[in-house]
Structures are given as C-alpha cells and as structure tokens.
Amino acid sequence: MKLSTKGRYGLRAVLDIALNSDEDAVSLSTIAERQSISISYLEQLIAKLKKAGIVTSTRGAKGGYILSKKPSEISVGEVLRALEGNLDPVDCAEIAGGESTCNASDVCVTKYVWKRISDSINSAVNSLMLSELVEESNALHKGENSGKVKNDTMC
Amino acid sequence: MKLSTKGRYGLRAVLDIALNSDEDAVSLSTIAERQSISISYLEQLIAKLKKAGIVTSTRGAKGGYILSKKPSEISVGEVLRALEGNLDPVDCAEIAGGESTCNASDVCVTKYVWKRISDSINSAVNSLMLSELVEESNALHKGENSGKVKNDTMC
DNA sequence: AAAACACCAACTAAAATACTCGGAATTAAA
DNA sequence: TTTAATTCCGAGTATTTTAGTTGGTGTTTT
C-alpha cells in the first residue's frame, strides 16, 4: 500500500516545473539535478505526464517543459494517476466504476471496504490542487533570496 | 498503491472466522478451502492476526481460531494494518506520527500530500467495523439455507 | 557545425511478493 | 496409548514488480 517512486518523484518534478517555469521551459537535466533524480529515469516519468496532458514540451536547445494548465487547474490526483495508474487499493472493474466482470460480484462483501478506501483516497487527492502546494512552498521560503533554487519538494 | 494479497486474503479470513465460529473454532484448512487460499500461505497471514491480538487459537485436534473480540470492536483498519503494516502511502516518520528524522523536514512540500492521503485512508478504515461487514453479508444471504457455507468474501 | 535538448525502445539488477516445504509440538478422540 | 487433526515455526523458491540504465534518433538554437 505504498506509492512507488514514480508517484513520488513525478509529483516533485511537476512541482519543480510549476515553481521554475516562469520565464523559460525547464529542462529534464535541471529538474533531475535539483531533485536528485536520475535524468534517464525522470525521462520516463515526464513521458507519462506529457501523455496525460499535464506538461507540454518544446524540443531542441533551450527546450524543456512547462505545465499545460494553470497550477490551480491541476489536481494532485490527476498527477498521481498519470504516474501510478489508478489509485484504487485493488484491481476490480466495479470499483473503478465500470461493469462488474467479477464472477462473485454479488456475493462480495470486502468490495465495500475497497470502495470506501478508494473513494477516500480519490476525494482527498482530487480536491488538492497543485496551486496549493505552490503557495505552501512560497510560504516556506518567505524571506529567502527569490533568485535561489528552491529544492523543497523532497519526500 | 495496491493492497497485497496479505491484506485481501487476510481480511477475508477474519470475516470467514467471524461468520463461522459461532460454535466451534474454525481450522485453517476449512478457511483455506472456503476461501480458496493455499493453507500454507494462509498460515502466515493468520500468524500476523494472532500476533496483533485479533484472533485467538486453540491447538490440537478440534482446534482452530476464533476472534479475540466482538466484531463490533474490531476495525477493518486494525486488521489491514496487522497484515500490511501501516497504510501510509510513504515511509516517513513524520507522517506516521513520530519525530521528523527526514533531513529535509522543514522544506518538504509533498509531505502535506502524503499526510492528507494517509489521514483519509486511516479514517476510512478505522471507522469501519467488522460487524458492519458481517451484517452486510447476512443481508446478502437473506433467504438462503443458513446451514450452507457462506463463501461471500471474495475480491 | 555543434551543442543542448526531447524522444524512444530495450535491457538489467535488485527488491518485494506470493507462495511452498519439511518438520515439531499439542490435543482430542478412537 | 496410538493416531489423526490441528497449530506453530523457520527456511527456501519462483514470479513479478520496481527502479533504474543504455544506446541511440530527431529537433532546435547558437
């Protein structure tokens, strides 16, 4: 029941882009360095984010990534699901909202448990916007040199 | 971000005991058969439940397991944590409620995300009691032969 | 032309998961 | 008192997933 490094690193990467793409797009290598993540691994994570329409890339020298939408329009849930797949605690079509393919679907009590967990996770992350994390970060850095790199997205 | 078979099978086992230990203790082999779980694997799961004080065993022939407490006093959270370890989405002392050993503890924004997820999962499962699942199961089986095996804890 | 970048598809090592196996100790019943 | 049914225990193993790495191609600015 743990998030993998995909979700953890990937969210840090998105936050890094949010905090540092005011002027230019940010390159993979700068994110990787700032966040202490291997550049080649990060590449895979960003690919997922791009596919999900969360970030937009520009190729070539001076290229890099920016967010596709405003931070207030990107939920943490959206980001985590792009990286980790669905956040449901079990793989079950019925819980994911689809048709019940489960052969024991009508005699399945634990299903109520998984549904309850799934709903609580999803509502928690869907209601949390990237902008809130950006504000939190700014609050933590009040009084610091604003030109400095903000390496504050650990964990 | 998935529950392992430990949590899924183990909760089914607990529910099976709750539903079938009215008179005698239920043996590993009957749970295993009813739930289609390998007996030797189930053994490991039940050991965790015993260690956590959720079930009580009696050894020897006619031995088996019963719940240590009433179903209304056992939360699903208690069971899942016994089987899976803590349900937090990341391993972080601060989120688990302890001291911050994290070297970036005060510059750690994503921490708020993990805390939020952790809280939502734990409050969901802590407020759900085994007795509610028992009632749900009985409701599903209204009208059936009450002597029949109730194999209704799939998923 | 060269440097800085994104993009892509395999490949691999390590860790975690999901089991199995072989027994020893305990207890009820025949 | 033997036998069968059971819990209990520690170790071993196969499979899957995770967490990367490697070696390249294509694109754009300087």
Write the pLDDT tens digit of every residue in B122-144.
999 999 999 999 999 999 877 77
Q: Which helix (H) or strand (E) holds B138?
A: helix B130-140
Mean pLDDT (chain B) is 92
- CA-nearest residue to B104 within chain A is A154
pLDDT at A130 over 90: yes
d(CA B9, CA B41): 10
Write the pLDDT tens digit of every residue in B67-76.
999 999 999 9
User: Tell me, what's the pLDDT at B122?
Assistant: 98
In a mutational test of the A interface, the residue from B12, B35, B117, B128 whose CB has the highest number of chain A CBs within 10 Å is B117
User: Tell me, what's the pLDDT at A148?
Assistant: 46
Write the pLDDT tens digit of every residue in A18-29.
999 999 999 999
Residue of A35, A149, A22 lying closest to B110 (CA atoms): A35
Which residue places its CA closest to the C1' of nucleotide C26?
Answer: B60
d(CA A54, CA A129): 13
Contact A2 B91 (CB under 8 A): yes
The model's confidence at residue B30, banded by pLDDT at 50, 70 and 90, is very high
Range B35-62 average pLDDT: 98
Q: Which residues 6+ apart lie within 8 Å of B70 measured at CB?
A: B131
Q: Spell out which residues of A between 39 and 98 contact strand C, using CB within 7 Å.
A: 40, 43-44, 46-47, 50, 57-65
User: Tell me, what's the pLDDT at A133?
Assistant: 97
| CB B45 within 7 Å, strand D | no
pLDDT at A95 over 80: yes
Stronger pLDDT, B119 or B106, i.e. the higher one: B119
Contact A75, A129 (CB under 8 A): yes
User: Tell me, what's the pLDDT at A151?
Assistant: 63
How far does A66 lie from chain B, in Å, by closest CA?
19
Secondary structure class of A107 (helix, strand, coil)? helix
